[in-house]
Amino acid sequence: MEAKKIQDLFKSELAVINLGLESFAENLRKEGVRVLQTDWRPAAGGDRRLVSLLAKLRRRKDFDVRKANQEAASRILRSKPTLVDVSTAGEAIPGMKKRMILHAGPPVTWEGMCGPMKGAVIGGLLFEGLAKDRKEAEDLAASGDIRFEPNHHHSAVGPMAGVTTWNMPVWVMENKTFGNRAYC
């Protein structure tokens, strides 16, 4: 009986679900094969370390992703962001220092910054009077004497490259529902 089923399989019309490169599906279509192309990608972009961490999260009994997402959405919808002040970054942002520049994105060194972010840092150093020209600003930024930290480590956001310096004006926003503050 098993042999008959296998023979019947080879006599039936081929239908393929392609999970890989779309060119595989295109080649099969050219041969007259019915193909369903899926837009599947491996979890975490295939990064094995991240996949392992995600798997550990899924196994945790005390963590429900759906419930956490519902709570996050609920907090966003219930929030009441209110402008409470306009100040300078140095006066308003906790942890801000005179020789610190906050920036968009994850932690990065001067050497690792993209061109637009480097340009914004140079502009910030000139704005603060810490350098008199572009060359001096570049040298100062590369010297290690300026501390670079992500805006989000200070509850802050910034436009474009996200550069925030001590004397730049910021809006102080308070979430009246939950009491947290943010700076922009």
User: Has residue 1 got a pLDDT over 60?
Assistant: no
pLDDT (0 to 100) of residue 70: 95
Q: Tokens 């966003």, residue?
A: 76
Computed over every residue of the chain, the mean pLDDT equals 92
Query: What's the predicted TM-score (pTM) here?
Result: 0.66
pLDDT, tens digit, 9 for 90 and up, residues 142-167? 999 999 999 999 999 987 788 999 99
Q: Tokens 């060119």, residue?
A: 23
Q: Tokens 């308003």, residue?
A: 92
Question: Which candidate, 102, 103, 80, 110, places its Cα nearest to that of 173?
Answer: 80
pLDDT, tens digit, 9 for 90 and up, residues 77-125? 999 999 999 999 999 999 999 999 999 999 999 999 999 999 999 999 9
pLDDT, tens digit, 9 for 90 and up, residues 28-58? 999 999 999 988 888 888 889 999 998 888 8
